[in-house]
Structure 1
Amino acid sequence: MKFEQLKNVDLDRMNVLALGDRLSSAYQSIVEVTNLFGKLTYTSEHGFRDVQDFIDYLRGQTFNIVMMPNPYGNGRRLAIYRALKGMTFPVVVWDRGGLPDSWFFDTGFNADSESYRLLNWDKKLPIGADDEIESYIQHLKEEAFPLERQGPRVGGRALRKKLGLDGKKILFVPFQRPSDTTVKYFSGSVSSFEQFVSLIDDISNLLAIHSPEWSIVAKRHPLEVKNPPAGVIFVEDDVHIHDLLDACDAVCLINSGVGLLAAAFNKPVLYFGKTYYGHPKLNRKVETADDVVVYLQDDLFIVDKCTRNRLFFHLKNRIYSFGKSKMEIVKQKDGSLRNIVREIDFYDVKLPACVSKLKKKFSLLPR
């Protein structure tokens, strides 16, 4: 049963403030989940003059929880989210996860969430869990559909041959969307998408001088229409992300979810931004082009399968909900594409502890 894990949770007593438009695609897509709650009151973040106006409204109510889609989606929503977090008021946010069919309902968003603290997942697994996760990863690599639409598989070896890179080492760069929330707010030492493009150019030039056995192969995000202006090898749009991960020797990115998939392929990742999957046994944080080249010149670190399995177990069995999505690709004014989720048929739902352990109404006392 899709809601088996919630059978002992009394959701009828929940009084939830849902921030946003009830008829928006964001809320309509998760109606299976929102229908579980006893009472939902919808209100737009834009209906308040400022954050204090929202807090004053909240003080006069008896809501248990505030829920919202991606809290970084607009400035007003983000300000409210940060204010609620600062007051430790229970918040549930949701968005797509990093595994196929995955979604998260969490008290934080990606790298800002406590769910991904190493203390919460880097621990010995239950008996039999390693075999379970190894099987899951094998399925992910061979059969599962990635988050974005891809072309047919040809295999890493065939891709290397097609690119004329037999005998070369490949650094794969999966470019994200310039407008991506995680690029805008979690890019770490990279101040902008444009700076990351410049860094990749710098890395390419340095490798040509110091380590010419390396070539950089890149792919633009499937929903973008133009390649970033980097002087590297770009693959065709329909090249499958799994073939690229199979073919490459290492991956360099800001904080793309491809960094998580790379661990499934045992490929070392060098990342510039803030990630929810960061761990010294799986990947390395870098700050400059020189950092990247130094790592590539040395014997690259080996992805630790034990640590990888712990992370995947945590995501699959403790954090992520799973559901089949119906999506519509819409063309934007600038020619780029946007994936709009119209419906999610959940087959596994997990809600955070602030929902399952809530014993009473949470109210704000006047100052």
Structure 2
Amino acid sequence: YLIEDNKDKIEKFSTGTSVTIWRKDHYLCTGGNDPEFEAWGFEDLEYTCRAFRRNRKFPLPSDAQLDYSNFSSIQEYKGWKSIYRLFGDITFKKGMVMFHAWHPIEHNSNYIQGKSENKKKFEKKIADFAKTGKEPEALKMISSGKSIIFRNNPWVYNKWTSPFFGELILLDECDFDGIDIIKYIENNQIDRVIFHNPYSSEKMHSIYNVIRGNLIPYYVCERGALPDSVFIDSNGFNYDSSSYHPQNWDLPLTEQQRKDCLKYIINEKNSQKYLELQPEKITPYSLKNTLHLNPLDKILFIPLQRPTDTVIQHFCGPIGSYENFISLIEELVEALPSSWKVVIKKHPLENSAPDIPGAYYANNFNITSLIEASNAILLINSGVGVTGLIHEKPVFVAGNAFYNHSGLCKSVTTATELINSIGNFKPCQEKVIRFIKYLSQDFYSFANFKTRLVDWTDGSKMTATTAIDYYILRVPNFEEMVLERSTAPKIQTSSILFDRYRNQGGIIRTGAPKKTPSTSNLPQEHKQNQNKSSIEQKNIIRKRKFKKLIETPGKFFRDSRHGIFKILGKVIK
């Protein structure tokens, strides 16, 4: 009936339908239908317009915010309807059709009369989203119940994670002085507690211990040891978590898992992403030359940590303290064979490092350059140890580290222990691959971070994370969510989907712009579309003028704006 244009059977047809299917958790994370809409219309269109801007499946049309033409007859790639209908065109070309049963519409009802007001809200909201990318707050996942959070930073209060935590209740840990938190949880039917750093204060640590001791479900959300990584852990924090125990990762790999992990390792070796800001990378030869080392010298690289870090304050383990570790370094400088040199790098956020005579300081060198140039690495429990494993270096651990397992690292607390092992210990590459596979493919989430340096209470600097935009999200007990972050459209205008927008010359019709705004305020893709349209129009004008010159040269010159050509036109017929 549609193909036959039978109006008795088919009232209207459109591939710009509001009938859409979404992955539920993703829909909740991205704010769903904006609750500011009331009565009939546009809340579904507004969400989809946000979605296609995030998705970047197609290039944006000209005047993308414009309500132009209609879904059924639009012939120019202009306004939001022109891109909106392309998604429906795909399913229609696959023979997937939804039929909407006809029913009468009461146009004078209060519900329908809200349409004009909603249309104004819709136009404003899609224009604002194009400028700012800001979406409504994430919607809670009702089935996840209630969660307590003690901070509202992006680690625990984030649009990509908050739906999984259900209804969030923000509390101050100091409110529980003399109050039984277990009774509070029972009385308020709390399902879990969300921590950022459960060791950040004595009060927070005590609450953490009470929660764990009473088997109350919880998550700890903090930065991982790989670039861009975040852990959302239901078993603890860092070294105290059972998530890193070998039974979770020391398992045979499939061929595909091994292939994917080796690809990840190669990419990380060549990556320019770091946990902290780093100088430019240089070759091992250049590094040794700059430090005035002999090319044959062996390097024991020691990345110093911050004495105030949580992992130093609570997980020093066998070495006992930061001061004891410094004493170990001083002893190693004297005791190591002459072919070995101790190279130290202070933590990037520390203002100074302990003065150890005989050691070489590489504070202004890239961390990856130092790892590549080293023959062994010694640390307390820094995340640099994981990077060392990726680079196939022997890693010696003096404290308690989550990655310090048999076959991966070697525990040492004395100079004698290290000297006896430094020449013969090598990590088991199979175990390294299994461990990195577990972190990268199973356990860690990955995100892009926005950070800034802030002053800390002791006068030093710290890196504060202001926003976390996940591209791989792994929340325990939920399905993994992979979020595409395309820098360019996945389907170009050469696709047959764009045939309805082409003129006879094969050029996409973009229509005259609604107005001529300053291009400095336009999105880059919009500028490109506008520039492309301008070039196309100029080419058309040139072709017309050339044709006029060939076919009617006299008229061509007489119509010129230049006087000398007008005179020439009177002579030429």
Matches within 5 A, 1:142-153: 142-153=270-281
Query: Corresponding residue for 1:242?
Result: 368
Matched, 1:343 2:467: yes
**Distance 1:6-1:327 versus aligned 2 partners, 3 A rule:** same
**Alpha-carbon distance in 1 for matches of 2:220, 2:266:** 30
Q: Deviation per CA, 1:274-318, whole angstroms, max 9, x where unpaired?
A: 11111222210112222112212xx32222221111001100111
Match of residue 204, structure 1, among 317, 333, 339: 333
Counterpart code for 2:454: V
**Distance 1:289-1:267 versus aligned 2 partners, 3 A rule:** same
Unaligned runs of 5+ in 1: 357-367
Contact 1:152 1:238 in 2 (8 A): no
SS at match of 2:160: helix
SS at match of 1:274: coil
Matched, 1:78 2:240: no
Matched, 1:39 2:163: no
Residue 4 of structure 1 deviates from its aligned partner by 7.3
Query: Corresponding residue for 2:145?
Result: 15
Q: Deviation per CA, 1:190-236, whole angstroms, max 9, x where unpaired?
A: 222112111111121212xxx12111001000000001233343434
Residue 187 of structure 1 deviates from its aligned partner by 0.7
Match of residue 62, structure 1, among 184, 189, 205: 189
Matched, 1:100 2:230: no
Query: Corresponding residue for 2:263?
Result: 135
Matched, 1:88 2:212: no
**Alpha-carbon distance in 2 for matches of 1:285, 1:215:** 20
Residue 63 of structure 1 deviates from its aligned partner by 1.4
**Distance 1:315-1:232 versus aligned 2 partners, 3 A rule:** farther
**Alpha-carbon distance in 2 for matches of 1:5, 1:98:** 30
Moved more, 312-321 or 52-61: 52-61
Give TM-score, length-normalised by structure 2: 0.57
The sequence identity of aligned pairs, in percent, is 31
**Distance 1:6-1:44 versus aligned 2 partners, 3 A rule:** same
Match of residue 263, structure 1, among 383, 389, 399: 389
Query: Corresponding residue for 2:569?
Result: none
Contact 1:26 1:69 in 2 (8 A): yes
Query: Corresponding residue for 2:315?
Result: 186
Higher relative contact order (CA 8 A, sep 6+): 1
**Alpha-carbon distance in 2 for matches of 1:322, 1:350:** 9
Matches within 5 A, 1:164-175: 164-165=292-293, 166-175=295-304
SS at match of 1:230: coil
Query: Corresponding residue for 2:339?
Result: 213
Match of residue 331, structure 1, among 455, 458, 481: 455
**Alpha-carbon distance in 2 for matches of 1:278, 1:47:** 37
**Alpha-carbon distance in 2 for matches of 1:221, 1:236:** 11
Contact 2:147 2:169 in 1 (8 A): yes
Contact 2:299 2:341 in 1 (8 A): yes
Query: Corresponding residue for 1:359?
Result: none
Contact 2:343 2:362 in 1 (8 A): no
> Over the residues paired in the alignment, what is the CA RMSD in angstroms?
2.2
Higher relative strand content = 1
Counterpart code for 2:291: L
SS at match of 1:189: helix
Contact 1:271 1:283 in 2 (8 A): yes
Give TM-score, length-normalised by structure 1: 0.88
Residue 35 of structure 1 deviates from its aligned partner by 4.0
**Alpha-carbon distance in 2 for matches of 1:152, 1:162:** 14
Contact 2:144 2:164 in 1 (8 A): no
Q: Deviation per CA, 1:36-80, whole angstroms, max 9, x where unpaired?
A: 443111111111114x62222122121111111111111111111
Residue 12 of structure 1 deviates from its aligned partner by 2.5
**Alpha-carbon distance in 2 for matches of 1:198, 1:5:** 55
Match of residue 351, structure 2, among 219, 225, 231: 225
Contact 2:344 2:363 in 1 (8 A): no
Contact 2:192 2:216 in 1 (8 A): yes
Unaligned runs of 5+ in 2: 1-21, 29-139, 480-573
| Bigger-Rg structure (1/2) | 2
**Distance 1:13-1:270 versus aligned 2 partners, 3 A rule:** same
Query: Corresponding residue for 1:118?
Result: 246
Residue 128 of structure 1 deviates from its aligned partner by 1.5
